[in-house]
Amino acid sequence: DLEDAVKALWKINIYAESGMGCTGPIIRVSDANLEKAHEELKKAGYIN
């Protein structure tokens, strides 16, 4: 679930917001946290 993924990032002190992009649901994070957020979401099974 999108909100669960956002909360998973919050737990590791990465601020994130969910929203709707042109192609579907998105999670917004700062450029500074993008790589770490991607790694953590992948590790948690939210993305491939």
Tokens describing residue 23: 């192609």
Q: Is 22 a catalytic residue?
A: yes
- Token look-up 């999108």 returns 2
Alpha helices in the chain (DSSP H): 2-11, 34-43
Q: Which of 22, 23, 24, 45 is catalytic?
A: 22
Q: Tokens 């994130």 — which residue?
A: 16
* Residues annotated as catalytic (active site), given as ranges: 22
